[in-house]
Amino acid sequence: MTEEEKAARAAKIRETKARQQQEMEEAERRREERRKAKREQLWTSNNYCSCRISLSEDEDEDDETILSDSDGILFENTI
């Protein structure tokens, strides 16, 4: 094998490795975009489901307002 053939072969190998690396990076970028989209979709579907609940033992007393989400986690307690 001549030096020119060796150089051509080495250049082809470098090009192949560079292309494979670029393809892997592109695939990882697409996977990350899909993960991000799924995360945002879950966030919007599960978030801001809170409602205001007024609790009072007596009508004359000030209302106690509690903000909670659908799972019952308290976000704010104003007494």
- Residue-wise pLDDT for 10-62, tens only, equals 999 999 999 999 999 999 999 999 999 999 988 888 765 555 555 566 555 55
Q: Which two three-digit tokens encode residue 65?
A: 């307002």
Query: Rounded mean pLDDT of 64-73?
Result: 53
Strand order, beta sheet including 64-68: 51-55, 64-68, 74-78
Paired strand residues for 74: 68
Q: Is 77 helix (H, G, I), strand (E, B) or coil?
A: strand
pTM of the model: 0.48
DSSP 71: T
Q: Which two three-digit tokens encode residue 6?
A: 């060796």
The full set of domain ranges for the chain reads 1-47, 49-79
Return the pLDDT at 44.
83
Return the pLDDT at 9.
97
Widest CA span in the chain = 100
Whole-number CA gyration radius for the chain: 30
